[in-house]
Chains A and B, each alone.
Chain A
Amino acid sequence: MSSDDISDRKGPPTAAAKSIAPGLFGWSSDLRRSWQKWWRNIPTPVRWGVLGLFILFVYALPSLGLPLIPTQQSDFTSVLAGSVVPYIMIALGLNVVVGMAGLLDLGYVGFYAVGAYAIAVLTTEHASLPWLIAMPISVVVSMIAGVLLGAPTLRLRGDYLAIVTLGFGEIIRIVALETDWLGGSVGINNIVAPPNIGPIKFIGKERNIAFYYLAVTLVIIVYFFLRRLEDSRVGRSWSAIREDEDAAELMGVPTFQFKLMAFAVGAAVGGLAGTMYASKSRFILPDNFELKLSILFLAAVVLGGPGNMPGVIVGAIAVSYFPERLRFLNTSRYFWFGVILMLMMVFRPQGLIPRRLRARRLNSRAGPPGPPDKPEPFVDVAEGDPDLEGGSRGIAPA
Chain B
Amino acid sequence: MASHLLEIDHVTMQFGGLTALNDVDFTIEEGEILGLIGPNGAGKTTCFNVITGVYQATNGEVRFQGSSLAGIERHKITKLGIARTFQNIRLFPDMSALENVMVGADAHHRSGLVSAMLHLPRHRREQEDGFLRSFELLELMGISDRADDAAKNLPYGYQRRLEIARALATNPRLLCLDEPAAGFNPAEKVELMGLIRTIRDQGYTVLLIEHDMSLVMGVTDRIVVLDFGKKIAEGTPTEVRANPTVIAAYLGEVEEDAS
Contacts and interface: CB of A to CB of B under 8 A. Distances in A.
A310 interface: no
Given A20-B135, A362-B131, A244 B92 contact: yes
Interface in B132-175: 132, 135-136, 139, 144-150, 152-153, 156, 166-167, 170
A380 B94 contact: no
Nearest to B99: A236
B145 A23 contact: yes
B202 interface: no
A263 B153 CA distance: 31
B75 A232 contact: no
Interface residues of A, number: 62
Given A21-B135, A252-B108, A387 B150 contact: no
Interface of A: 5, 9, 14, 16-17, 20-21, 23-28, 225, 228-229, 231-237, 239-240, 243-244, 246-255, 261, 265, 360, 362-370, 372-374, 376, 378-381, 383, 385-388
Contacts of B54: 246, 250, 385, 387-388
A249 B144 contact: no
Contacts of A365: 94-95, 99
A243 B92 contact: yes
DSSP class of B's interface residues: helix, strand, loop or mixed?
Answer: helix
Contact of B93 (A236, A363, A378): A378
A243 B93 contact: yes
A379 B179 CA distance: 14
Interface in B27-69: 45-46, 49, 52-55
A349 to B, nearest CB: 11
DSSP class of A's interface residues: helix, strand, loop or mixed?
Answer: loop
Given A229-B116, A367-B94, 6 more contacts: A232-B116, A239-B103, A243-B94, A250-B78, A250-B83, A369-B94
Highest count of chain B CB atoms <10 Å: which of A239, A247, A248: A247
Contacts of B52: 250
Nearest to B100: A240
B170 A378 contact: no
Contacts of B149: 26, 28
A123 to B, nearest CB: 27
Nearest to B91: A378
